[in-house]
Every structure is written in structure tokens, then in C-alpha cells.
Chain A
Amino acid sequence: MEAFLTQYIDAYYLRIFVLIGINIILALGLNLITGVTGQLSMGHAGFMSIGAYTAAILTMQYQAPFWAALLAGALLAAFFGFLIGIPTLRLEGDYLAMVTIGFAEIIRVFFLNFEPGGKAVGLYGMPPNTTFVLVWGIVIVVILLNAKLLDSRTGRALYAIRENEIAAEASGIDTTRMKVLAFTVGSFLGGLAGGLYAHYMSYIAPQDFGFMKSIEILNMVVLGGMGSIPGSILGAVILTIAPEMLRIVADYRLLFYGGLLVILMIFRPNGLLGDVRIYDIKKRWFKKEVG
């Protein structure tokens, strides 16, 4: 299948499709933390870099099998997500946002000085194991599991925390456990996407995972619509394609990108698909109920 694709689809488009897939995994991870549970995290690129570096070092320097390296990267990212989840028990809102920014910056500076990670130069020459089929296979599994999770008792508990934490607690939800859970699962996905990214680009450096990268992922979630799986997917698709489309304006690309964000937020303040859940779409299409 992969051979078929590479033969008939232009390499440039194939590359964009793969990056869209990786970005969907990133956006769905952050959506779980920020969109669904309402815990503003602005350091998702930090988790991504942990996954990327761990997986890259394991395959390059320890000749680990690719799947094991991916899994190890994702698990290590999940562990850090768990650690960051703990202060959320006491911090909220923008204080939490600041801690996540700080965490991601510390990770970036750490990798800047990390000998096995090639310091500022970064790592290159990872085996290009990430294929189109693999990425989209993982994307489909992640979407299905995510939908399953959000439509479960746990998922509704997470939404409840976002809507009103005190009311959620009064209803018997263990808010502490749920918040840490959201952080752990979300950063697992971030680490997974990082590992895939590293083995697709075959080159990673600390500056790839800076504050702007975290912001880019947050933009996908908010632009698409907070807490919505189709929204996060749409956000990831648009924000991956937009910079490519804007190549025609060359130097003015980022100028348009910035302006576009402002205009979109003014006209669609709740995101393009704010709070549309897969469940609702199903209901609308199959039962012809109009909500």
C-alpha cells in the first residue's frame, strides 16, 4: 500500500498528509487536557520533544525496534504529564498555564545542553520508519479510542470538570484523579506524535519544540472548537495546510497567519466546530434529530 501511494501521489502532498496525521494526534492529546477538561496547557511541545528525543535516541544509539522506541517515548512523556498533572491539584487557570509554559521551556533548555541529544545541533539520521500507512493507522485508532473515552462515564466526568469543578466534585467525581488522568493520556499522545515526527523528519532540534510549537497545537484545538474531536481534527488539517497555502504570499506568510487567527476568533469565537461531538453528529445523521 505504501509503495502504491508513493508511486501515485506526489511526494509533497504525501508529506503534508503525514504531517496532518501527526498534528491530529498532537491536537487530540491537547484537546483532552485543555478542550475537554478545561486545564489550560501551553507546553504541549514539551511532551512532544520528550517523545521525539527518547524514541530517536533509542533507535539510533541502542538499535531498539521502532515500535518499542515509540512506545517508550510516549510512556516517558506520559510520566512527565503525570508529574505536571500533580501541581494542577493546587493551581488553576493561568497559574497552571504558566507552569506548563515553564516546564516546556525547561525541557527545551535541557535538550539544548543534552550531550546524547546533540545539544543545539540536534539529532539527525533517524531511520525513516514513519510511513503514511502507519501514521494514519495510528490516527484512526487514536480517534476511535478518544471517542470511546469521551462518550464514557470518565469522559463525561472530564467535561463536568471543565463546566464547573465544584459542582463536579459535589457530584462525586474524583476531580484530582480525573485531571491527572487527562494530563497523562494527553501527554502520552504528545510523546507518541513526537516519536513519529522524529522518525519522519529524520532530524530534530530543540528549537523545533519551542513555545511557538506549543501555541500552534493550542491554536488547532481552539480554532477547531474546544472539546470536540471533529473540531480538533479540522483545526489540525486547517493549520497544517494554511501555512502551505500561504506560501504564495511568501514573506508575508506569517503576517497573514497572525491576521487570520484574529479574524477567525472574531467571527467564530467558539471555534469552527465548538463542542460538536462525534456522538451528536451520529445522532443528527442517523436519527434525523436536529439539536
Chain B
Amino acid sequence: MFWEQLLNGLTLGSTYALIALGYTMVYGIIQLINFAHGEIYMFGAFVGLFLVTVAGADLFTALIGAMIFCMILGMLVERIAYRPLRGKSSRLSALISAIGVSIFLSTLMALIRGTNTTRYPNILEINTYHIGGLEISSLQIIILVVSALLMIGLQLLIQKTKIGKAMRACSQDLDASSLMGINVNRVISATFAIGSSLAAAGGVLVGIYYNAVWPYMGMMAGLKAFAAAVLGGIGSIPGAMIGGLTLGVMEIMGVAYLSSSYKDAIAFAILIIVLIIRPQGILGKKITKKV
């Protein structure tokens, strides 16, 4: 029982982590809570659905198609709604702009698809394996493996490539990076592209796992993922991974051992408690304020 719940928690948590990465990467560079990120995730789920049902794609084609689509969508959102505001306004105006995009995108999808829940077709044969008394479905294995691969890929990208190096530089000091000849706008664009594609992957995986997608699915998922990013220490990439997994496990455990009607409250209660004890999040850096 406990181990199975732990596995469920890790599965849920790895999807939170995929979304949380986008929040934390964008935040790390331009200190913006990108509230439209949940809607990018929702679009990812729908594009995946479209590819599977209309184009008859298999899971991995759908996954990659959704990632590419959201990559472009994310860059477009940044270009239209955030870049014109950069440098001349407070962070809060950018936040409101992000909320505007979020409302726009979810309404757009509701107009296209209607507000009802759509079922994902069964594109996989789901087998259940028993490993030492532990029940694990092939779906869970796929979600865990795909998330793990994406996260490893992201780590490599950030640590080993030139654009990754530029991203790290920008997250330390945007102005200094600009002075060193880094094209800051391009780096920010790339950050949105990468973050959005991870969210799209999360969307497709969640769509298959829960077998349902709907236009307003982005809001709660976005809030939870943001909570995960903050829990891990916002701006920190390993933090987002740990935060996502922790939140997923805690939530499933809370539902299993406490109460299912308080499901959404449990995640936030844990978050508040952790933040009161450790205000900078699990892996966040303590910032000494200077005048």
C-alpha cells in the first residue's frame, strides 16, 4: 500500500516537476511568475490529443509534436505580451499581462473545443507488472522514464551547451550578461521555448495518465506547479524537480492517509509550513539584502 502510493506520488510529482521547471527557469532569468504557463501545458495536452485522434500519431510523435507546437506558442507569448513591457515597467505589470494571456488562452481553447472534458483515446496497451509485490503499470513507467529523460536532457543542455551557459549567466545578472555580448532577448526566448516544451510534455503525459483533458485544466496544475517551484526554491532547477516530486508524493499520501476531500488544500498547507520553517524553499539560496 505505502509503496504503491509512493509510486503514484512520484508519477504525479514528475508531471508537476515538468511544469515547475518552466516556471523556475523563466523566474530565474526575468523574475516573472509566468501565469500563462499552465495554459501552455493545457495547449500541449490538446495538441497531443489532436495529433493522436486526427493525425493518428503514436504516443512519441504526439509528445514531440506537442512540444514543438508549445515551443513556438511560448516564444510567441513572450514576444507579444512580455517583451514590450520589459525594462520599462514594474514586475507586477508583467504579471498582470501574464494573467491576461492566461485568460485569453484558456478562453480560446474553450471556444474551440467547448468546456467539456474530452477523453484521451487509449493509444497504449496498458500492462500491469508485479515487481516484488509492487504493482506498476506500463503507463507509470513511461511517465517516469520520459520525465527523467527530459530532465537529464535539460541538465545537459544547461550545463554543457553554449546557450545553457548564456542562460546561467543571464540568471546571475541580466545587465552584465548583456554587456558581455550575450543576446539577452534571444536567451529569454530560448528559455520560454524550453520551459514551454517541457510543460507540453507534462500535458500530454497527464492527459494519458488521467485520460481526460479540458480547457481549464491549466489553472490548478499551474498553481500546483508554481507551488512546487517555490517549495524547491524558485529559480533553482534541481529545486523545481525536488519540489515537484515532494509535492506529488505529499499530495497522494495526504489523500491516502488523511482525507480526499481536502486534496487541494493539503499541497498548499505543506507548502506554507515548509516556507515558514525555511523561507527560501528547499534548495533556494539565502539572499542577503544589501542597500
Q: Which residues on A are within 8 Å of B, measured CB to CB? A: 34, 40, 87, 90-92, 94-95, 97-99, 101-103, 105-106, 109-110, 112-113, 164-167, 170, 211-212, 215, 218-219, 222-223, 226, 251-252, 254-255, 257-262, 265-266, 269-271
Contact = CB atoms under 8 A, between A and B. Distances in A.
Contacts of A103: 268, 272
A259 B275 CA distance: 34
Contacts of B88: 269
B171 interface: no
Contacts of A105: 223, 264-265, 268
A266 B101 CA distance: 12
B289 interface: yes
A103 B96 CA distance: 20
Given A167-B291, A226-B92, A269-B88, A262 B265 contact: no
Nearest to B233: A95
A262 B33 contact: no
Contact of A223 (B96, B263, B280, B281): B96
Given A94-B27, A265-B96, A255 B226 contact: no
A257 B105 CA distance: 11
A106 B268 contact: yes
A98 B262 contact: no
A59 B265 CA distance: 28
B226 A98 contact: yes
Given A105-B268, A270-B93, A112 B261 contact: yes
Given A90-B279, A105-B223, A113-B261, A251 B96 contact: no
A109 B227 contact: no
A91 B100 contact: no
Contacts of B264: 105, 109
Contacts of A265: 85, 89, 93-94, 96-97, 100
Contacts of A91: 275-276, 279
A281 to B, nearest CB: 22
Contacts of A252: 107, 111
A112 to B, nearest CB: 7
Q: Which 9 A-B pairs have the closest CB atoms?
A: A261-B100, A269-B89, A258-B104, A102-B268, A258-B103, A109-B265, A254-B107, A262-B100, A265-B97
A90 B277 CA distance: 9
A170 B290 CA distance: 12
Contacts of A219: 96, 99
A271 B94 CA distance: 11
B89 to A, nearest CB: 3
Interface residues of B, number: 48
B272 A259 contact: no
A154 to B, nearest CB: 23
Contacts of B93: 222, 265, 269-271
B196 to A, nearest CB: 17
A258 B39 CA distance: 13
A179 to B, nearest CB: 14
A235 to B, nearest CB: 11
A106 B223 contact: no
Contacts of B221: none
Interface string B74-107: 0000001100110011101111110111111101
B92 A222 contact: yes
B258 to A, nearest CB: 12
A269 B230 contact: no
B234 A94 contact: yes
B62 interface: no
Nearest to B231: A98
Contacts of B97: 261-262, 265-266
A34 B92 CA distance: 10
B211 to A, nearest CB: 24
Nearest to A112: B261
Interface in B252-286: 261-265, 268-269, 271-272, 275-276, 279-281
B145 interface: no
